[in-house]
Amino acid sequence: MKQVSGETKHHFLVTLRTGLTVLLFTSGLWLTSSNQITALQFLLSYVLLLIPWVSYLDWRRRKRNGLPVFAMISVMYWLYYALPLFWGDLMIREARTVFGRQASPAMLSLALTMSLVGVCCLWVGTKANFINRIVPGRWTQFDLDGRRRNYLRAVLVGSVILSIVEPSAYLLGEGGRQIIIISLSFVPLVAFTILFRRYLKGEASQLDKVLVFAFLLTRLVSGLSSGWLGAAASIMIICAASYLAERQRLPRIAMMAVIVFTLFFQVGKNEFRIVYWTDEIKASHLDRVSFWVDTSLEKWSNAIADPSGENLRPLLNQSLSRVSLLTQSANVLDQTPHVVPYQYGRLYSFLLVTFIPRFVWHDKPSVNEANQFYQIAYGVTAEEDIGKVSIGVGVLTEAFISFGWFGVVGIMFLLGVFFGFYQQSLLGKSSGLLMSSLGIALLPQMLGIESQMAAYLGGIVQQVLFSLLVLLPIIRLSKFRRTIIPPNAGRRELRTEVSPARVIEH
C-alpha cells in the first residue's frame, strides 16, 4: 500500500509540475503577443497544450505502445489553433477583398472551443474498448540477411535514382499514376525507416549508413527543389518518430530542427514558386535550392537587422499562417449554416472514391473537389482561380460543415477509433519491424490535420498494400496471433489464441 501511495503521490507531483510549466509557457506566449487575448481564449489555449503533454507523460510512464499517437496528433491541434492566436495574423482572407476582415473574438473563442471538443472526442475514440478487444499480434517477420537485405538496399537506391531522374507521374498512363506516385514517395520511406531504425539499434552496416544518409540528403534536396516543404519536413518527422520509438524519449534537437526549418523556408516559398512554377524558369536541383535558401536568408537577415522589429512580425505571421486553421474555422463557424447550409456528408463521398484504383475508374472525381467546394462556398478563392490554389480547412472544421456540432463529436470520435486501430495494429510493441515502419512512414500524413478527410485518409489502403507487395521478397509469414480481451475482464486478464502455423523467430 505504501508503494502504491508513493507512486500516486509521484504521479500527482509530476502532473502538477507539468500544469505549472504549461501555464508559464502559455503566459509567455500571451506576454509576447500583440493580439488581444481574452481570458477564455487563454484558458482554452492552455488546456489544448496541457492535454498532449499529459498524454505524452502518461505514455512514458506506462510504456504500452510504440508511439504516443494521440499526444502527437493533439499537439497539432494546439499548433494549428492555439499558437496562431498569440503570434499569428487574425485576418480572414477573402477572394472578394484585398485586405480581408478581422476575425471576431467570439468566433475565435468558438473555434478554440471546437478544437478542444474535437480533441476530447478524439481521445474517447482512441480508448474505445471494441478496438482493444482484438489486438493484432505480430504476423510478419523479417529476414534481412544476404540477398534480402540487398533487395531492401536496391529499393532505396532505386528511389534515389528515380528522384533525380524525375519520371512523369503519367509514365504508365492515367491508370498507373497512383502506382508511380506511391513508388516514388511512400515505398522508399518505408525502406528508409527500416534501415534507419536498424542504424539507431546499432545493427546497420557501413553500407547501410551510407545509404541512409544519402537518401536523407537526396530527399531534402529533391523536396526543396520541387517547391514543397512537406516532403523535406516529412523525412524529419519520420526520423524523429523512429528515434522516439527506439529510444523512448523525445528527440528535442530533431523537433527544433523541424520548427526552424519550416519557419526559415516558409518566407521564401512564394518567390520560389513564382520563379519556377509560374514563370517556369529551368534550373538544376541545386540552383533551385540555392535560390530558395538565399531568398529566405535575405528576408530573415533584413528582419533581424531591423532594430525596430517591424519587419520581424510580418515574417512570423507569414510562416505561422501556413500552419493555422484558427481564422478559417472562425469564418466557417460564422457562416454555417445561415449562409452556407450543412452538407450532411456530401464531402465524404470523395473518401469512398479514393478506395477505387484509377486504372479501374479512369474518370473518377478528384479528392481536391472537397477542398474546392470549401474554397468557393466560403469565399476563400475566386472561382476562376480554383485550379491554381488548393486550400483545405481540416477534418475538424469539415465535420462541422457537414453536421454541425453533432459532426464535431461524431466524426472526431470515429477518427479516434481509427487512430486507436492504427496505433494498435501498426505502432504497438508487438507490431514487428515491418508493420511499425509502415506506421511511422504514414505518420506525417496522420499529422496533416489541415487536410480534409478525402485527402487525409484517402490512399492509405493503397499505400500499405502496394508497399507490402513491393517488400514481399523479404517478408516471411509467421504465426497469426491475436490477443482477446474478454468483455468482463480487466486490462491484465488477457487470453491469447495462436494458430497452428509454424512460428518463425529471428
340-360 tens-digit pLDDT: 999 998 888 877 777 676 666
Residue 302 maps to a domain: no
> What is the SS3 string spanning 102-137?
ECCHHHHHHHHHHHHHHHHHHHHHHCCHHHHCEEEC
Residue 146 maps to a domain: no
Distance CA 117, CA 121 (A): 6
Q: Counting beta carbons within 10 angstroms of the beta carbon of residue 9, is it exposed (0 to 12), middle (13 to 18) or buried (19 or more)?
A: exposed
Q: State which of 218-232, 421-435, 442-456, 459-473 shows the largest mean pLDDT.
A: 442-456
Residue 55 maps to a domain: yes
195 near 204, Cβ under 8 Å? yes
Distance CA 336, CA 172 (A): 43
Residue 382 maps to a domain: yes
65-124 tens-digit pLDDT: 678 999 999 999 999 999 999 988 888 887 767 667 889 999 999 999 999 999 999 999
115-132 tens-digit pLDDT: 999 999 999 999 886 655
Residue 360 maps to a domain: yes
CA distances from 169 to 7, 174, 182, 215, 367 (A): 56, 8, 10, 21, 17
Q: Is 193 helix (H, G, I), strand (E, B) or coil?
A: helix
The residues near 424 (Cβ < 8 Å, ≥ 6 apart) are 65, 131, 132, 135, 136
- The reported pTM is 0.88
Give the residue-averaged pLDDT of 149-164: 83
Q: Residue 136's beta-bridge partner residues?
A: 482
Residue 166 maps to a domain: no
pLDDT of residue 199: 93
Distance CA 406, CA 114 (A): 11
- Lowest-pLDDT choice from 161-170, 175-184, 211-220: 161-170
Distance CA 375, CA 383 (A): 8
Please tell me what DSSP assigns to residue 341: -
In this predicted model, which residue has the larger pLDDT, 459 or 168? 459
Helices (H), 339-404: 349-353, 368-377, 395-403
Distance CA 83, CA 166 (A): 37
Q: Residue 497's beta-bridge partner residues?
A: 482
Mean pLDDT of the chain: 82
pLDDT of residue 46: 97
Residue 84 maps to a domain: yes
Nearest to 357 by CA among 131, 132, 168, 175: 175
Q: How far is CA 62 from the centre of its chain?
A: 24
In this predicted model, which residue has the larger pLDDT, 18 or 169? 18
Q: Is 379 helix (H, G, I), strand (E, B) or coil?
A: coil
Give the residue-averaged pLDDT of 481-492: 43
Q: Is 474 helix (H, G, I), strand (E, B) or coil?
A: helix
Nearest to 329 by CA among 30, 503, 82, 44: 82
CA distances from 112 to 41, 43, 73, 79 (A): 7, 10, 16, 11
Number of folded domains that form the chain: 1
Distance CA 368, CA 451 (A): 10
287-305 tens-digit pLDDT: 999 999 999 999 888 888 8
Written as one letter, the residue type at 46 is Y
Distance CA 257, CA 238 (A): 13
- With a cut of 90, say whether residue 427 has pLDDT above it: no
Q: Is 295 helix (H, G, I), strand (E, B) or coil?
A: helix
| Phi, psi (degrees; rounded to nearest 5) at 476 | -115, 125
- With a cut of 80, say whether residue 174 has pLDDT above it: no
pLDDT of residue 88: 85
- Element housing 152 (H / E): helix 147-165
Domain coverage including residue 46: 2-139+325-432+444-498
Residue 209 maps to a domain: no
